[in-house]
Amino acid sequence: MLQITLAICDLPFREHRENINSPCKGNFLTIIDLLAKYDPVLKLHLSENNPNRFKYISPAIQNELVHIIISSKVKQNILQKIQNSPFFTTITDTTQDISKTDQLSQIIRYVMLEKDENNQITNLCINESFLGLREGTYQSAASWAENILASITEMGLNISRCRGQGYDGAAHMSGTYSGLQKPRICSLCCS
């Protein structure tokens, strides 16, 4: 929560010296130091007498905390918009990462309805959001279909609002007889 507080207040995290004992150590470390004065567990953790050398307050850790906290909040916000949308479309593609593991990209295109004070629709906005990568273990269309459906379920999206699918040109993705376009997902989302 400290990272979110600093971000909301538009305050920088760090100064020139990244040392807990420095008088000018930046907002993040200053607040951690202040909290340690009232929290004995945190005070012991930060003390020089602590046998554990790892304090987890380095700039890299601060950046990682910001990334984890902020990215999860952004994703929750996007998912809320998709859940409130009247319908959406899945767009998927696969690629291999550096370790040769197949990754399924998750992109959702959704419609946002803007309404006036009388609750009348005034505008229609189409948004497209990348929601991450999902590791896959097989290269068959059936396994990718299971991955896509599991992903939609995990995101809390109602499959009955899915109105379309988008894939690349690879046979296991777009083939109408054995690919993902085969009625296995279409029957669920493109009714």
> What string of DSSP letters covers 32-45?
HHHHHHH-HHHHHH
Burial class (CB in 10 A: 0-12, 13-18, 19+), 49: exposed
Residue 191: pLDDT band with limits 50, 70, 90: very low
Does the structure show a pLDDT above 50 at 62?
A: yes
CB burial class (10 A; 0-12, 13-18, 19+) of residue 185?
buried
Could you read off the pLDDT of 116-157 as tens digits, one per residue?
A: 999 898 998 999 999 888 887 666 777 778 888 888 899 999
Mean pLDDT of the chain: 78
Higher pLDDT, 52 or 47: 47
pLDDT for position 16: 63
Cα within 13 Å of Cα(56), Cβ side: 5
pTM given for the model: 0.62
Residue 79 identity: L
Strand partners, 39: none
Task: Of 39-53, 96-110, 171-185, give the range with the top mean pLDDT.
Answer: 96-110
Please provide residue 79's backbone torsions phi and psi, each rounded to the nearest 5 degrees: -65, -35
